[in-house]
């Protein structure tokens, strides 16, 4: 995709669409962050009133700052003249998704969700922002369970252009308030009614009012009988049942007087207490109101047309009866009077009214006394059935009173089918129904990525057909089986998303040592890659603890060969070094690292072994002359032979600490024989002369 909007927002993938906008996951190249970018439909770009109100309402929504409201970062104009809003991107699903997957929520959970929605509405209403389209689709649930309301301001911007001008229903029919359905002004109480519908759906998994068409649903909001949620779900306590019924009161005055009052009751319900503002008496009092609410003043067109024909038929019958009765009398009168009466004056000339875009029934009601309005042709059009498209004579001129105006009307209403391929199943169905089409659904095996997404539709998007026609969508069911991917060599953080993308889950995790696989990486998996599993199955893995170290064994007292064997049995190698010692020659003394140390398998240790005990020292005769005592001056040589050089070496680098001490004691070191001179001989090196 990678389309750049306003030289800043790089579109990555679609997240959803509706009748007025599409939402994309986009990357903000300026601030280097992901955002949800809502781009308004191109068909609204030329509507100045819509654009102006959209800008104003987007600005109001951007000023809303609340933990339960999705933050709006930016708004502006795209290259094609449409407008966009950049908002906080949340990866969690919608409340509608959760209800569809899990059904009714536990009552206290539903109350907690409603409480957070009410907090968001309170913050908006305090700034004079009315949402007008509260529904589960606009409620996001984060991974931590927080609730955030989205789409503030957009519905209000749409209302002025689409609802007040034509009387069409704004918002999703299942969630609109009675005053919205009647085209009346709406306030905060309308949002509370919609919240009541959402709460009802959370408690029961069903809608409080339903019908075959959006108009039928809207009329049930106005005069339908409400079945309390407790009737459909016995687990619903009295308290939350009463709150729901009060929210769904037909008259706004019978609902909660403020958001704060509702919040107080919901807080009590969440805490397990009875609400203070809604009682069971109030619930029973609200139920009859549904049956007594006055409906819209104008019934649907099909009903009006039939009624009009009945009104016209009755006067015609009465006129025929009067003609039969009065005809003989009229003939007698004419015979008596002859042609003495003057001719009646011609009808007056009057202005021809403008009937174009008016409903034909309304035109007949308003101008039927002055003109005979005759339908001469019908054709398809996107406007409502019965709308006048043209007239003859045209408006602005004059015609005789009682003359005929021929009109061409819409006989079949048509509309463009939205393209819903790639949309979520519920989003697609809602978009098609909002556009006035019936929806049927087929299912087909698909890739895991296409599960619950529309992978085909018939007729295709963009075609113009009769409104009310059926559109069949094909929804992917995901694969019957999925292939297990290879996750060996990865760590757990890398393996888990790999499995999830394949439609699988991470199962049991065990740990083991490995000489070849680094610590933290996966050694093996079960099942292995390439096998087939059902979606959602688990894959168990074994994670490396790294190389298992071995403990250096004790070798002191063993012979050199025995010590080497002990080390080899432990998986270690040795480098023998002979050092002075009182032990028998060839006796193992110690290792470096020493006994008990932990080393990697295959390590080479220095193995110190004894060269044998020192030889006895032979005393030399005392010299006859007295010389200064050089006993403490090492390194002075006598005049005679310095011995055979069989002494052990001075404390060298290869001598272990416990042996070095003995070497430093010159009295016990053989091989450092005295010379014939006066000096005390040095210790000799092993195998050489001083």
Active site residues: 133
The closest of 204, 257, 258, 253 to 226, measured between CA atoms, is 204
The answer to whether 38 is a known ligand-binding residue is yes
| Residue 7, helix vs strand vs coil | coil
CA distances from 437 to 136, 212, 469, 636 (A): 22, 11, 5, 116
> 28 CB contacts (<8 Å, ≥6 apart)?
8, 9, 34, 35, 73, 86
The total number of residues shown for the chain amounts to: 690
Q: Match 């019978």 to its residue by tokens.
A: 254
Strands (E), 384-467: 388-392, 398-400, 404-416, 438-444, 454-458, 464-466
Strands (E), 258-326: none
Side-chain half-sphere exposure of 110, counting CA atoms within 13 A: 29
Dist CA 485 CA 494 (whole Å): 12
Element (H, E) at 292: helix 289-292
Dist CA 252 CA 261 (whole Å): 14
Contact 173, 220 (CB under 8 A): no
73: left (phi over 0), alpha (psi -120 to 50) or beta: alpha
Joined together, the tokens standing for residue 545 give 């603890």
Strands (E), 535-682: 538-544, 550-551, 573-579, 588-592, 598-599, 604-610
| Residue 683, helix vs strand vs coil | coil
Q: What is the CA 384 to chain-centroid distance, rounded?
A: 38
HEC sequence for 569-581: HCCCEEEEEEECC
Joined together, the tokens standing for residue 495 give 């393996």
Q: Match 């408690």 to its residue by tokens.
A: 203
Dist CA 2 CA 588 (whole Å): 73
Dist CA 392 CA 407 (whole Å): 6
Sheet of 72-77, strands arranged across = 4-5, 9-17, 21-28, 33-40, 83-88, 72-77
Binding-site positions for ATP read 38
């Amino acid at each position: 995709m990678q389309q750049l909007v306003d030289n800043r927002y790089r579109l990555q993938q679609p997240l959803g669409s509706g009748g007025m906008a599409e939402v994309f996951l986009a990357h903000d190249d300026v601030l280097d962050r992901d955002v949800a970018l809502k781009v308004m439909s191109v068909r609204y770009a030329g509507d100045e009133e819509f654009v102006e109100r959209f800008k104003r309402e987007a600005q109001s929504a951007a000023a809303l700052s609340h933990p339960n409201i999705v933050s709006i970062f930016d708004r502006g104009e795209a290259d094609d003249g449409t407008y966009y809003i950049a908002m906080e991107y949340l990866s969690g699903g919608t409340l509608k998704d959760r209800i569809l997957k899990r059904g009714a929520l536990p009552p206290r959970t539903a109350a907690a969700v409603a409480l957070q929605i009410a907090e968001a509405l309170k913050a908006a209403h305090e700034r004079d922002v009315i949402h007008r389209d509260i529904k589960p689709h606009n409620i996001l649930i984060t991974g931590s369970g927080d609730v955030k309301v989205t789409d503030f301001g957009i519905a209000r911007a749409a209302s002025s252009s689409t609802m007040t001008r034509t009387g069409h229903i704004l918002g999703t029919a299942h969630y609109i308030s009675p005053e919205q359905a009647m085209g009346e002004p709406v306030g905060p109480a309308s949002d509370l009614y919609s919240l009541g519908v959402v709460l009802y759906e959370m408690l029961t998994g069903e809608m409080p009012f339903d019908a075959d068409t959006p108009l039928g649903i809207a009329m049930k909001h106005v005069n339908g009988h409400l079945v309390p949620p407790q009737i459909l779900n016995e687990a619903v306590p009295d308290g939350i049942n009463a709150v729901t019924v009060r929210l769904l009161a037909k008259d706004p005055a019978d609902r909660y007087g403020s958001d704060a009052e509702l919040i107080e009751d919901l807080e009590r319900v969440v805490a397990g207490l009875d609400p203070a503002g809604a009682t069971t008496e109030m619930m029973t009092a609200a139920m009859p109101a549904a049956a007594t609410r006055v409906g819209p003043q104008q019934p649907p067109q099909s009903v009006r047309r039939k009624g009009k024909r009945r009104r016209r038929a009755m006067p015609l019958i009465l006129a025929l009866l009067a003609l039969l009765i009065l005809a003989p009398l009229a003939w007698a009168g004419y015979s008596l009077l002859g042609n003495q009466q003057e001719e009646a004056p011609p009808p007056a000339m009057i202005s021809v009214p403008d009937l174009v875009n008016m409903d034909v029934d309304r035109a007949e009601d308003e101008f039927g006394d002055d003109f005979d309005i005759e339908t001469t042709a019908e054709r398809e059009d996107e406007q409502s059935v019965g709308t006048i498209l043209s007239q003859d004579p045209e408006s602005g001129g004059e015609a005789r009173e009682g003359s005929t105006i021929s009109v061409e009307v819409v006989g079949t209403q048509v509309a463009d089918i939205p393209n819903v391929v790639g949309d979520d199943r519920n989003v697609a169905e809602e978009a098609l129904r909002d556009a006035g089409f019936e929806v049927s659904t087929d299912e087909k095996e698909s890739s895991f990525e296409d599960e619950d997404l529309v992978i085909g539709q018939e007729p295709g998007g963009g075609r113009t057909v009769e409104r009310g026609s059926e559109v069949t969508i094909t929804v992917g069911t995901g694969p019957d089986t999925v292939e297990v991917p290879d996750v060996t060599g990865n760590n757990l953080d890398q393996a888990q998303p790999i499995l999830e993308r394949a439609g699988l889950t991470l199962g049991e995790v065990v740990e083991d040592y490995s000489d070849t696989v680094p610590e933290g990486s996966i050694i093996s998996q079960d099942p292995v890659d390439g096998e087939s599993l059902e979606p959602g199955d688990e894959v168990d893995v074994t994670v490396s603890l790294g190389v298992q170290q071995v403990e250096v064994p004790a070798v002191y007292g063993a012979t050199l060969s025995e010590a080497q064997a002990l080390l080899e049995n432990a998986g270690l190698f040795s480098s023998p070094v002979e050092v002075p010692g009182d032990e028998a020659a060839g006796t193992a003394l110690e290792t470096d690292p020493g006994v008990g140390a932990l080393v990697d398998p295959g390590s080479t240790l220095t193995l110190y072994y004894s060269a044998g005990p020192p030889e006895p020292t032979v005393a030399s005769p005392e010299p006859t002359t007295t010389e200064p005592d050089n006993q403490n001056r090492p390194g002075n040589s006598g005049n005679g032979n310095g011995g055979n050089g069989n002494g052990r070496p001075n404390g060298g680098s290869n001598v272990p600490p416990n042996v070095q001490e003995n070497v430093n004691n010159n009295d016990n070191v053989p091989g450092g024989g005295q010379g014939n001179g006066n000096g005390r001989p040095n210790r000799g090196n092993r195998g050489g002369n001083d």
